[in-house]
Amino acid sequence: MGMPLPVLSLGLTAISTVAGVAGAQQTASANAAAANYQAQVARNNAIVSEQNAEYATQVGETQVQAKQQQTAQMIGTIRASAGAAGVDPNFGSPVRLQSSTADVGELDAETIRNNAARQAYGFRVQGTDFTAQAQLDSMQAQNALTAGNLQSFSSIVGGAGAFAEKWNKFYGSNGSNGSVYLPGV
């Protein structure tokens, strides 16, 4: 003998409610996992940006040292050339030439240092953006879990309402119409 329609309908309503709750929780979990993954990617990118900033600073300082050595060599060449020509390198034109070479060399070194600092700053700003994105993604993950819980609660309330409505439809307000199928009874 088959199951009576009222019992089948009530059972399907209960199953539908359970499935709705499970689906809401599964969706929330998947959305939270995706947002947490994105947050971790953003945190990793922030770390890489800071490493790039440090690297840019180090490269800039290395280039500054190279420029300073080049400038010192140029001044040495000026002094040697003046001496070889029989001119005192500590007076007159050789001194002015050495001074202007030193000034230009220092200006070049400062330009290199400033460019490296600007590049490092850009990487740090990028890192800050990644950190902010990680925070947003983490909040999105938390919100997904909260939304899943709310959706689950909504499914339970909706399922309970549908179950009660069907119960009243089939069994009336006293809970029995005499046609309930109970296996083994």
The structural domains of the chain, with segments of one domain joined by +, span 5-169
The first and second tokens of residue 21, run together, are 């709750």
Chain segment 55-79, per-residue pLDDT in tens: 999 999 999 999 999 999 999 999 9
pLDDT by residue for the chain (185 residues), tens digit each? 566 777 777 777 777 787 777 787 888 888 888 888 999 999 999 999 999 999 999 999 999 999 999 999 999 999 999 999 999 999 999 999 999 999 999 999 999 999 999 999 999 999 999 999 999 999 999 988 888 888 888 888 788 788 888 788 877 765 455 455 445 54
Q: Give yes or no for a contact between 140 and 35, defined as CB atoms under 8 angstroms apart.
A: yes
pLDDT in the model for residue 179: 52
pLDDT in the model for residue 160: 79
Q: How far is CA 83 from the centre of its chain?
A: 63
Q: Give yes or no for a contact between 98 and 89, defined as CB atoms under 8 angstroms apart.
A: yes
The first and second tokens of residue 64, run together, are 């500054």
**Taking the complete model, does pTM exceed 0.85, yes or no?**
no
Task: Determine the straight-line distance between the first and last CA of the chain, rounded to whole angstroms.
Answer: 14
Dist. CA 180–CA 173, nearest whole Å:
15
Q: Give yes or no for a contact between 140 and 37, defined as CB atoms under 8 angstroms apart.
A: no
* Cβ atoms within 10 Å, residue 159: 19
